[in-house]
C-alpha cells in the first residue's frame, strides 16, 4: 500500500535553481512512485517583489544585489546550465537577459491550483520554460497567457484573472505565511509540513528525504 505525502514547493519563477530543483524532485518522484503517492503544490515566493514592470538587465541586477562580476555570473550560469541538463531542464545558452516582476505569474499559479494540482504543475513548468528556456518576460501578459494555453488551461479565463487583479490578497497572504515559517530562500521544499529540503539538490537527495518522510508517516499511523 502506498504512503501519501504532501509536498509544498516554495519558489519563484525568476529563480533558476528552482527550475533545477523541480526537475530533480520530479525525477525523485518517479523513482518513489511505486511506494509513495505525492500531492505536489506550488507556493509563492518573490525574490524581487519591488521590481518594476520594465524589469532590469540581469547583469546589472546581480551586480547590484550580490556584488558579483560579469565573469562570476557567466561561470554561475554555466554551472546552472549543466545542472539543469543533468536533470532534463534546458536553459537558454544566453541566459534570461532581464529580471522581471513575477507577481502576475504567482496569481495565475494560484488560480491554476484551485483547479487541480496537475494543472498547476503544468503551468509552473510552462512558465519556467518560457522564462529560463526562452528568456521571455514574466511581466508580459501575452507570454503568461501563452504559458496558460500550453498548460491546457483556459486562456480567456486567465486573461480575466490578470485584468481583474484576482487572487492578489490570497497570494500576498501565502507569501507572508511561508516567510513566517522561516522560508527566506528558494527553492524550499516542505514535505508533510515537517521535512525541509532547500536548494537545487540532486534527485537522490530528494528521494532520500521523501522516503524518510514516508517512513515517519507510516510509523505515526501504526
The whole-number mean pLDDT for each consecutive block of 10 residues of the chain, a chain of 222 residues, reads: 96 97 98 97 97 92 92 92 97 88 98 98 98 95 98 98 98 98 97 96 98 92 75
pLDDT of residue 186: 98
Q: How many CA atoms lie within 13 A of 172 on its CB side?
A: 5
**79: CATH:** 3.40.30.10
Contacts of 121 (CB under 8 A, 6+ apart): 40, 42
Q: For residue 114, what is its C-alpha cell?
A: 484551485
Q: From start to end of the chain, where are the E strands?
A: 3-11, 36-44, 56-57, 98-99, 188-191, 195-198
Q: What angle do CA 215, 118, 45 make, to 5 degrees?
A: 80
Say what the pTM is: 0.96
The domain in which residue 163 lies consists of 3-221
- Strands 36-44 and 3-11 come out as parallel
Cβ–Cβ < 8 Å for 16, 73: no
Contacts of 105 (CB under 8 A, 6+ apart): 13, 127, 138, 144
Distance CA 84, CA 124 (A): 16
Phi, psi of 188 (to 5 degrees): -125, 120
Q: What percent of the chain has pLDDT over 70?
A: 100
pLDDT of residue 218: 86
Cβ–Cβ < 8 Å for 99, 48: yes
Phi, psi of 3 (to 5 degrees): -100, 135
Cβ–Cβ < 8 Å for 70, 59: yes
Number of domains in the chain: 1
Per-residue pLDDT tens over the stretch 32-57: 999 999 999 999 999 999 999 889 99
Amino acid at each position: 500500500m502506498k504512503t501519501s505525502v504532501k509536498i509544498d514547493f516554495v519558489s519563484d519563477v525568476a529563480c533558476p535553481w528552482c527550475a533545477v530543483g523541480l526537475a530533480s524532485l520530479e525525477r525523485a518522484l518517479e523513482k518513489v512512485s511505486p511506494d509513495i503517492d505525492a500531492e505536489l503544490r506550488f507556493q509563492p515566493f518573490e525574490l524581487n517583489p519591488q521590481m518594476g514592470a520594465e524589469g532590469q538587465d540581469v547583469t546589472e541586477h546581480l551586480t547590484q544585489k550580490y556584488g558579483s562580476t560579469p565573469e562570476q555570473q557567466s561561470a554561475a550560469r554555466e554551472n546552472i546550465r549543466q545542472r539543469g541538463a543533468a536533470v532534463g531542464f534546458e536553459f537558454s545558452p544566453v541566459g534570461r537577459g532581464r529580471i522581471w516582476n513575477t507577481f502576475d505569474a504567482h496569481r495565475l499559479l494560484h488560480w491554476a491550483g484551485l483547479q487541480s494540482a496537475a494543472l498547476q504543475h503544468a503551468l509552473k513548468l510552462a512558465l519556467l520554460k518560457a522564462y529560463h528556456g526562452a528568456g521571455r518576460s514574466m511581466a508580459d501578459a501575452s507570454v503568461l497567457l501563452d504559458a496558460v494555453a500550453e498548460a491546457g488551461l483556459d486562456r480567456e479565463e486567465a486573461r480575466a484573472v490578470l485584468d481583474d487583479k484576482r487572487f492578489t490578497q490570497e497570494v500576498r497572504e501565502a507569501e507572508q505565511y511561508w516567510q513566517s515559517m522561516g522560508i527566506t530562500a528558494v527553492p524550499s521544499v516542505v514535505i508533510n509540513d515537517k521535512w525541509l529540503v532547500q536548494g537545487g539538490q540532486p534527485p537522490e537527495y530528494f528521494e532520500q528525504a521523501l522516503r524518510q518522510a514516508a517512513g515517519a508517516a507510516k510509523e505515526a499511523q501504526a
